[in-house]
């Protein structure tokens, strides 16, 4: 809003409706050393540009021996559920890019995070996919510095330290995780029968992964080695999701410390539905259940 008026139409402009075109265009600009910030209207529509992102942007530097790079490209796209977005206005696509060497994938959880991580992404020397949880566009409000600041990429953040269980998520579900922790502490009368009193004081370490690729393995592994228990939450389907990668690494690096199987809570392995959204997305109850099962294993 207002950027075109401030910086001119030559710098802020419409493109034809064509994702492969606008991403390819951004790669070309970046290859000439210009900073290119491309927007895909919804993450669901990034797939026409998948070839340009995976075969081109991600490999541009490697295949040219560092002679040409698409590193000055940042692709922004709104992602995740919004309550009624159904199949094509709800998807979490991060796992589609997690196995693509050469890319960085970043997801913020709040306005301060969004600004700091986006500025880092734009200045980062590698191509970045910056996915913005659209349900937070208007709901998440906090005092955000007007001045320039950055937050580091490939660095997870421990939001609340704990010693009994590591709960990992990113983007919008972090708020659901916080709700689940609150439900564990103070279960309402309708569910309290399922949560034995000694679990209510469990100390949960909540981690915001922030960067999906290359992800902060050190912070995660260190946390699980300490707590011995790990639950990973994301909106995307479970099979071959981000949780699969994290849990495989955690079981290798923290095998002797694990007290329970690593639990993954995600969307079911179906397309993202319309009217069934509240039973599809991992809500606080499902996360709570995973916490209870992992703590009592």
Active-site positions read 19, 89
Q: Pick from 52, 90, 113, 294: which binds other proteins (CB under 8 A)? A: 52
Q: Among residues 90, 163, 176, 172, which one has the least CA distance to residue 136?
A: 172
28 is a site residue for other proteins (CB under 8 A): yes
CA dist., res. 107 & res. 235, Å (int): 13
Strands 36-39 and 230-237: unpaired
Q: How far is the CB of 39 from other proteins (least distance, A)?
A: 14
The pair of three-digit structure tokens given for residue 34, joined into one six-digit string? 């210009």
18 binds other proteins (CB under 8 A): yes
Q: How many CB atoms lie within 10 A of CB 221?
A: 19
Q: Token pair for residue 18? A: 């064509």
User: Residue 3, interface with other proteins (CB under 8 A)?
Assistant: no
Q: Enter the DSSP assignment of 58.
A: G
Distance in Å, CB of 100 to other proteins, minimum = 10
CB of 230 to other proteins, least distance (A): 19
Using rule CB under 8 A, residue 152 touches other proteins = no
Segment interacting with other proteins (CB under 8 A) among 27-35, 156-164, 195-203, 278-286:
27-35
**Interacting residue with other proteins among 76, 89, 104, 281 (CB under 8 A):** 104
Closest approach of Cβ 25 to other proteins, in Å?
4
CA pair distance 27, 11, nearest whole angstrom? 16
Q: What's the count of helices (H) and strands (E) in the chain, helices before strands?
A: 12, 10
Question: Among 125, 145, 161, 261, which residue interacts with other proteins (rule: CB under 8 A)?
Answer: 125
């Amino acid at each position: 809003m207002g950027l075109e008026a401030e910086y001119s139409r030559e710098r802020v402009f419409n493109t034809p409706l064509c994702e492969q075109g606008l991403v390819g265009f951004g790669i070309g600009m970046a290859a000439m050393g210009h900073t290119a910030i491309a927007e895909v209207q919804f993450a669901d529509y990034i797939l026409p540009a998948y070839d340009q992102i995976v075969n081109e942007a991600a490999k541009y530097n490697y295949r040219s021996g560092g002679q040409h790079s698409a590193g000055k490209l940042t692709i922004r796209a709104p992602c995740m559920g919004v309550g009624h977005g159904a199949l094509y206005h709800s998807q979490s696509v991060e796992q589609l890019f997690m196995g693509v060497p050469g890319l960085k994938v970043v997801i913020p959880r709040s306005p301060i995070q969004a600004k700091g991580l986006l500025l880092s992404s734009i200045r980062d020397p590698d191509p970045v996919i910056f996915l913005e949880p659209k349900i937070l566009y208007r709901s998440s409000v906090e005092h955000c510095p007007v001045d320039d600041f950055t937050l580091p990429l490939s660095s997870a953040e421990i939001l609340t330290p704990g010693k009994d269980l590591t709960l990992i998520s990113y983007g919008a579900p972090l708020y659901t995780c916080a709700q689940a922790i609150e439900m564990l502490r103070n279960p309402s009368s309708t569910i309290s029968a399922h949560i034995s009193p000694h679990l209510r004081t469990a100390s949960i370490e909540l981690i915001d992964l922030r960067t999906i690729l290359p992800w902060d393995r050190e912070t995660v592994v260190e946390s699980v080695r300490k707590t011995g228990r790990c639950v990973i939450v994301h909106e995307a389907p479970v099979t071959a999701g981000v949780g699969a990668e994290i849990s495989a690494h955690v079981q290798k690096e923290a095998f002797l410390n694990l007290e329970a199987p690593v639990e993954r809570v995600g969307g079911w392995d179906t397309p993202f539905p319309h009217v069934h959204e509240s039973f599809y997305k991992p809500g606080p109850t499902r996360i709570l259940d995973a916490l209870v099962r992992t703590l009592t294993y």
